[in-house]
Amino acid sequence: MAEQKERTFIAIKPDGVQRGIIGEVIKRFETKGFKLVGMKMLHAPQDLLEQHYIDLKERPFFPTLMKYMTSGPVVAMVWEGKGAVKTGRVMLGETNPADSKPGTIRGDFCIDVSKNIIHGSDSVDSANTEISLWFKEGDLCSYSSCAASWLY
């Protein structure tokens, strides 16, 4: 069996969805060369978000974060390709948009750390944990049956 390519979990947060930035995010990951292997839109339940952000449970902004993330639907995606986790984080920019360079998603489309429009896994381990939290294995696609070998 072919070696599993690196995958990262990317989610467009409720403000990104409401502001119409879904297509822009997909365009950036797609044209960069990553492959979309899973995508769904959902109004994420609180218990899923509590698991997703378990490491931040004790932080003072946690209740605000939960309110923000349940304020509307999110678009959850899995992108695959060489260095998807690290490159994905570079494409997102810093957690605080004020520290994010122009050309990054947060640098181009938001100004406030509490409304920073997008999530991206910060390590391969957390990517795997987050992917299995948000998706069932059968939900994810494989391109292995494609005739042409992929460039990336």
Catalytic residues: 119
Rounded CA separation 131/84 (Å):
13
Residue 106 labeled ligand binder: yes
Annotated ligand binding at 8? The verdict is: no
Q: Which residue has the closest beta carbon to ligand IDP?
A: 95
Closest separation between CB of residue 94 and ligand IDP, Å?
Answer: 7
Task: Count Cβ atoms within 10 A of the Cβ of residue 125 and give its class: 0-12 exposed, 13-18 middle, 19 or more buried.
Answer: exposed
For residue 119, state whether it binds ligand IDP (rule: CB under 6 A): yes
Which listed option, Mg ion, ligand IDP, none, makes contact with residue 114 (CB within 5 to 8 Å by class)? ligand IDP
Q: Could you give the CA distance from residue 105 to residue 77 in angstroms, rounded to a whole number?
A: 16
By CB under 6 A, is residue 87 in contact with ligand IDP? no
Handedness of CA 41, 61, 94, 131 (dihedral sign): negative
CA-CA distance, 144 to 141, in Å (whole number)? 9
Site string for Mg ion, 109-138 (x = CB under 5 A): -------------x----------------
Tell whether 7 is in a known binding site: no
Nearer to Mg ion (CB atom), residue 10 or residue 39 = 10
Binders of ligand IDP in range 37-66 (CB under 6 A) = 56, 61, 65
Q: Which two tokens stand for residue 146?
A: 């494609």
Other C-beta atoms within 10 Å of 97: how many?
A: 20
Which residues sit in the known binding site for ATP? Answer: 13, 61, 89, 95, 106, 116
> Interface with ligand IDP by CB under 6 A: which residues?
56, 61, 65, 95, 113-114, 116, 119, 122
